[in-house]
Amino acid sequence: MNRLEVSELTVAFGRRRSVAVDRLSFTLAEHERLGIIGQSGSGKSVTGLAMIGLLPENAHVTGSILLNGQEMVGRPEKELRRLRGNEVSMIFQEPMTALDPTMRVGRQIGEVVALHHRDRRGGIQEEVVEWLERVGMTDPERVAHSYPDELSGGQRQRALVAMALANEPGLVICDEPTTALDVIVQRQILDLLDVQLRGRASLFVSHDLAVVRQVCDRVLVMLQGRVVESGRIDDIIEAPQHPYTRALVAAARIGNHPRGTRLPTAADFTEGPRP
Ligand code: ADP
Ligand code: MG
């Protein structure tokens, strides 16, 4: 069974029903890593949020999202909460907003551990410290007793990875998990994710082709809510078909472009406003 089967997913916002995601279809097999690439506003985050049932109330959703065979679209919030706890979790771009600033990091991770391991023998705090070690914290006890603003950006992102994985989800949605970090820390967190996402399915949202290449097998290229191209990441980078994908690949190789080269924008690939 596929972890995810998405068909004809459409998400529109507000009374004017402006379309953010347009008839999106894809499947994600067990243990597979799928990237979604596209520039800002192309519908990547909206897609990720839909997978975990976290879209805001003004979102109109049609189509189907089967998570482990269970329909997410139209499911009551109470049941979505249970799925979020057990089967899917999300790593957000901004750890400072995803973590509660008023609560020690250890307690936040402990709450996730407590929810999912009611029958465990060991103490919750022991398991929290184990998770902090697993995500590469050098001083896990101290980190557990810290508040989020006492940690560096990289440490906060590691804490968020621990929190997302502590319930052992089969599917992890990562939305630009390294975008807010400097390049060295970004590399460390990508290495960490590469290890920690093993054995799970993951959907990895990024505007950065190089980042997606490091962690994903396949990729969907989104432009204004639609998939314009999809396939194995290496094939796409070697031989992009759609002009927009070609522009993304060229932008990732900006070092080869003479200074002052204008990079194309989404507007260059669309024929005016949509109906
Ligand atoms: P990105 O690819 O940068 O992650 P998003 O998925 O965040 O893009 O956004 C896609 C489109 O949906 C954008 O046009 C955005 O303005 C719109 N959108 C996202 N969230 C909302 C919301 N809560 N209300 C209205 N429009 C939204
Ligand atoms: Mg986004």
Strand runs labelled E in 130-258: 171-175, 201-206, 218-223, 226-232
Which protein residue has the closest C-alpha to ligand 1 atom 13? 41
Please report which confidence band the pLDDT of residue 133 belongs to, taking 50, 70 and 90 as the band edges: very high
Distance between CA atoms of residues 70 and 84, nearest Å = 12
Ligand 2 centroid – CA 43 distance (Å): 7
Is a pLDDT exceeding 70 seen at residue 274? no
Amino acid at 98: A
Judge if the beta carbon of residue 42 lies within 6 A of ligand 1: yes
pLDDT of amino acid 175: 95
When the pLDDT of each residue in the chain is averaged and rounded to a whole number, the result is: 89
Is a pLDDT exceeding 70 seen at residue 186? yes
Taking residues 213-228, what's their average pLDDT?
Answer: 95
Token pair recorded at residue 173: 């949605």
Query: Three-state DSSP class for 97?
Result: helix
Is a pLDDT exceeding 80 seen at residue 173? yes
pLDDT of amino acid 264: 63
Q: Which of 9, 10, 11, 13 has most ligand 1 atoms within 8 Å of its beta carbon, as the pocket-test mutant?
A: 13
Which protein residue has the closest C-alpha to ligand 1 atom 1? 41
User: What percentage of the chain has pLDDT greater than the value 70?
Assistant: 90
Please report which confidence band the pLDDT of residue 97 belongs to, taking 50, 70 and 90 as the band edges: confident
Residue 191 has φ and ψ, to the nearest 5°, of -60, -45
Token pair recorded at residue 22: 């347009």
Contact predicate 46/227, CB 8 Å? no
Query: Three-state DSSP class for 122?
Result: coil
Q: Is the dihedral of CA 167, 204, 54, 178 positive or negative?
A: positive
Ligand 1 centroid – CA 87 distance (Å): 25
pLDDT of amino acid 33: 96
Determine the atom of ligand 1 nearest the C-alpha atom of 175.
4
Judge if the beta carbon of residue 40 lies within 6 A of ligand 1: yes
Is a pLDDT exceeding 80 seen at residue 128? yes
Instruction: Measure CA 221 to chain center.
Output: 15
Which protein residue has the closest C-alpha to ligand 1 atom 27? 13
Please report which confidence band the pLDDT of residue 267 belongs to, taking 50, 70 and 90 as the band edges: confident
Taking residues 62-89, what's their average pLDDT?
Answer: 93
Is a pLDDT exceeding 90 seen at residue 84? no
pLDDT of amino acid 260: 56
Is a pLDDT exceeding 70 seen at residue 256? no
Judge if the beta carbon of residue 170 lies within 6 A of ligand 1: no
Element (H, E) at 66: strand 59-67
Tallying the residues shown for the chain, one arrives at: 275
Judge if the beta carbon of residue 151 lies within 6 A of ligand 1: no
> Of 261 and 134, which is predicted with more confidence?
134
Taking the CB of residue 1, how many other CB atoms lie within 10 A of it? 8
Ligand 1 centroid – CA 255 distance (Å): 30
Token pair recorded at residue 113: 């551990």
Residue 122 has φ and ψ, to the nearest 5°, of -65, 165
> Of 269 and 207, which is predicted with more confidence?
207
Is a pLDDT exceeding 80 seen at residue 85? no
Q: Which residue has the tokens 């750890």?
A: 95
Least confident of 77-91, 167-181, 254-268: 254-268
Residues pairing with 62 in the sheet: 10
pLDDT of amino acid 113: 86
Ligand 1 centroid – CA 12 distance (Å): 9
DSSP conformation class of 258? P
pLDDT of amino acid 21: 98
